[in-house]
Structure formats: C-alpha cells, structure tokens
Amino acid sequence: MVGSAMTDLVSRVPRLPGAGETLIGSSFSIGFGGKGSNQAVMAARLGAKVSVVVKLGKDVFGENYLKNYQEQGIDTSYVLFDETRFSGVAPIAVDDNTGQNSIVIVPGANDGLSPADIRASRSAIDNADIIICQLETPIESTVEAFRIAKEGGGTKGGAMTIFNPAPARELPEELLQLTDVFVPNEVEAAMLLEKSTTTVEEAMVVALDFLERGPKRVIITLGSRGAVFASQGEPAQFVPAQKVKAVDTTGAGDAFVGSLAYFLGNSFPLKTAVERAGAIATRSVLKPGTQTSFPYRDEVKELLLP
C-alpha cells in the first residue's frame, strides 16, 4: 500500500452537528486510521503479506502508529518520517443513533510523501502483486507509484493497481489509464463525473462511463445497498448488501477495499471478490471504531474459502 496514515480522534454524539452548532458528546477515543493504512490493516488481518509506504510525523502519534503497523504484522521497512510536519489526524463525529459519521482530515506529514519518496521505495512496489492507492497523499505520488507498478511490480510482469479516489478531486487521465481496479463510493463517483448515483441503475451507468476513461474494472460501493461493478466489454452488475443495524460505519469502505485486494490477490473472480468484500465490510459496521472494527481471518474464515 502506498498512501496515508491518520490518527482518528473520535467523538460519539447524539446527532451530527449542523453549521455553527455545539453538541455534547457521549464519549471520546483515539484510534488508528487513514484510508491507506486502514486498507492495509484489513488485508493483513485476512492473511495478506503487506508493506506500507507512508510518511509519519516525528511525534507521539507517529511513534504509536509505527508500533501499530508492527503489531498488525505489516512490513515497516518503508515507513518514512517527516522532519517538519505533524502526523496526520482525522477528527470524526459518529451519530450514536445511526452509526453514520462526519470526518475532517488534516493530512500533515501525509502531504510530504513525495514522488522522490516513492522512487526511493521502489523495491516495495517491485516486489508487490497488488498496489493500493488513495488521495490522502499528493496525487503526483500516486501517479508515480502506479507508473512503477506497471513497469515491473508483481511476479507476472506488473502489479495490479487498485485506486480508491478518496477524497474525490479532479483526476489526471494518466492515473485512470494506469488503474486496473477503480473503487469510488457513490458520493465520490457522483462528484467525479457530475452525475447522479442515487439509484442502482444510475450507478451502473456511471460505472460504465468510468470504464471509458481507462480503468479495466470499476466498482462503485453504495453503502448499505451494496455495490455495482463492471469490466471492460461486460454489462454492469449489482451485488446487494446484507441488511444490518449499523453501530459505526467509519472505515467500512476501507474494509471493503482491503478485503477486495486480498480476494483479487488470491485470484477470486471479480463478482465473488465484490460479494465477499462487501460481507466483510458489513461485519465491520457492527462494531465501533475504525481498525478496531475490522474482523480477523478466523472470524471470517468461511468467506476465505474458494
């Protein structure tokens, strides 16, 4: 994984506050987050061999995050430290009643992960079968990682690239063309193409539109509804999600992407990978927190069988 690390500062509130409103929360906790690191942890918990290329601040948040990677069994050979920036943080408000969340990210050291850093970490990419990137680090660094991945990563002459365009922003065409699996959520997809994804049918149309811009496969996650997916030359399909009462939806999208990487890395068919990644993401919303809600391999072993 090439991407972000954030320390989550989580407040549980009776409802998400409006503009200018002050609410009294019911609890506060500090946890490990950042979309890239979340995805890496999820894949590692399922049994994948994971390395991360990230940049932390030289502060207590950075020191604790390094220990977290090590405790999760993740290779930290390419964890870098920024000399001037603080570690990334993410203040999160979680609605006690619905489990829905509102998140602000302050990237800090993540903004310092440069293309030069990516090139210096080339051996991590060259030895990978799958590279996951997001947009919580500079977009030029993501492009550089995918360029390297396509030059020589993986055991079969080029690593599979999975791109989660979050938070959404204008994307260079080269990045889309370097992407094998493009995984936005419904909000990000709608923002990027300025088209509605309110219905499953609309999301299918948007998925096909993205295919025309370069990615080989597109998966749009639809929250509690499930996901739609499409591949070049094939019709879009819909996979519904199991209906549950969510406790906390924070990190569910990352649980999906990390699980998807595990399944695709183990040669599961795309539909099966989407179904099972969705099932694992659903498990994650039944517990509070981000990485703390992600299941371990033994908890979902029935989903890992061919």
pLDDT the model gives residue 225: 96
Q: What single letter denotes the amino acid at residue 161?
A: T
CB-count burial class (<10 Å; 0-12, 13-18, 19+) for 56? buried
Q: In this structure, what token pair is assigned to residue 126? A: 């060259």
pLDDT the model gives residue 99: 83
Catalytic residue among 129, 209, 254, 298: 254
pLDDT the model gives residue 101: 83
Q: Using 70 as the pLDDT threshold, list the residues of the chain that sit under it.
A: 153-157
Q: What is the pLDDT of residues 100-149, one digit of tens each?
A: 888 888 999 999 999 999 999 999 999 999 999 999 999 999 999 999 99
pLDDT the model gives residue 250: 85
Determine whether 111 is an active site residue. Answer: no
Instruction: Give the C-alpha separation, 98 to 110, whole Å.
Output: 31
For each of the domains in the chain, give its residue range(s) and CATH number, in order of start: 6-303 (3.40.1190.20)
b/e map 11-49, b = 16+ CB within 10 Å: bbbeeeeeeeeeeeeeeeeebbbbbbbbbbbbbbbbebe
pLDDT the model gives residue 155: 52
Global confidence as pTM: 0.92
Strand pairing category for 160-163 and 181-182: parallel
What is Dmax (Cα atoms) for the chain? 54
